[in-house]
Structure 1
């Protein structure tokens, strides 16, 4: 006996592409920013489905390699938050920039809107490397036509209340702050909330 195939989920998709900051490393399920974004959208009557494509430890190169698979979800908007692991590992920043440009180019070719989350490194990495790292995000946004979230961890970085003991990964309280930052940039792309 054959079962009737389920209807495809045709809701518009928001793809959250990133590393552990997106995956929600170290916090309870449902308290990462993609989960909170899904809840906020539902509260406001938006039908969108949020996909958490965060992978702890991922680099820009790793995300580029798996992007084609992530695009099978046919997103209309991608929130790209990558590069922290490249920077923390001291990887070549020119390669990091090129990877981000290629990611954004692939998204753009498929008609996906892009929000690029800017990142910064802790000050102990040395002025030259740290400054070059931070400058890559506005450069990539300008060159690729992406919208920039100037600093994804605004109001979170350096605060012991909003960071886990490692000083790198947000707590649930930190993700609530991140949600507000992301929401300010996502909302203008959504248009008026549909009637419920």
Structure 2
């Protein structure tokens, strides 16, 4: 009997580890805009997870220019194709740059969060802030969207995704909106402390 148990334990321990899936649903901030894909923070995340022994397939479903409305259609398809354990949502910036009413952005982001939760995935929401020239009143309403959703839906939140990058010129591209290749590790450093507890 002991021999049989030992054999079964050996078989179990030597089976290949089944990789789990993590989806990053974002826009140009996560799509390695104007750089090689392997330089982007999502690719760096995949490398870090592998190095630290986390068996995850990281799926970068980020598209430059995407809005929250675009994200709803894409996430619906993705969740039919992938049994994701974690969904990172980094959207809303393009909505804000186009002056979309904050209530509409909040509605769409809430729907994205609930779609991911309903699929059984854990959610990490990445907070975005707009440049100051969009006006104090609009910027305030916009920046409040993310913590409110995180609290209402009980999901993890990165308060400001660009915190370590936005005000450091060498970590930004010349357009003043997109992080440079030099800024990508800092994006990962901002996300990781909030992501790791979900992995564990």
Is the Cα–Cα contact under 8 Å of residues 31 and 37 in structure 2 kept in the other structure?
A: no
Alignment of 1:31-110 (within 5 A): 31-71=39-79, 72-110=81-119
Shift in Å, 1:70 = 1.5
TM-score w.r.t. the length of structure 2 is: 0.89
Tell me, in whole angstroms, the C-alpha distance in 1 between the residues paired with 2:190 and 2:148.
20
Aligned counterpart, 1:168:
177
Aligned length: 183
Aligned counterpart, 1:29:
37
Shift in Å, 1:13 = 0.6
Considering fraction of residues, name the structure with more helix. Answer: 2
Is the Cα–Cα contact under 8 Å of residues 158 and 167 in structure 1 kept in the other structure?
A: no
1:130 aligns with 2:172: no
CA deviation vs aligned residue, 1:152-196 (integer Å, no higher than 9, x gap): 0011012211001111111111111011111111111222xxxxx
How large is the Cα RMSD of the aligned pairs? 1.2
Tell me, in whole angstroms, the C-alpha distance in 1 between the residues paired with 2:30 and 2:105.
18
Is the Cα–Cα contact under 8 Å of residues 149 and 185 in structure 1 kept in the other structure?
A: yes
Tell me, in whole angstroms, the C-alpha distance in 2 between the residues paired with 1:60 and 1:163.
23
Shift in Å, 1:74 = 1.2
Tell me, in whole angstroms, the C-alpha distance in 2 between the residues paired with 1:99 and 1:158.
28
1:157 aligns with 2:157: no
Tell me, in whole angstroms, the C-alpha distance in 2 between the residues paired with 1:173 and 1:73.
31
Shift in Å, 1:24 = 1.1
Is the Cα–Cα contact under 8 Å of residues 123 and 156 in structure 2 kept in the other structure?
A: yes
Q: Which has the larger radius of gyration?
A: 2
Shift in Å, 1:93 = 1.2
CA deviation vs aligned residue, 1:59-93 (integer Å, no higher than 9, x gap): 00110111111112111001101000000111111
Is the Cα–Cα contact under 8 Å of residues 19 and 81 in structure 1 kept in the other structure?
A: yes
SS in structure 1 at match of 2:89: strand
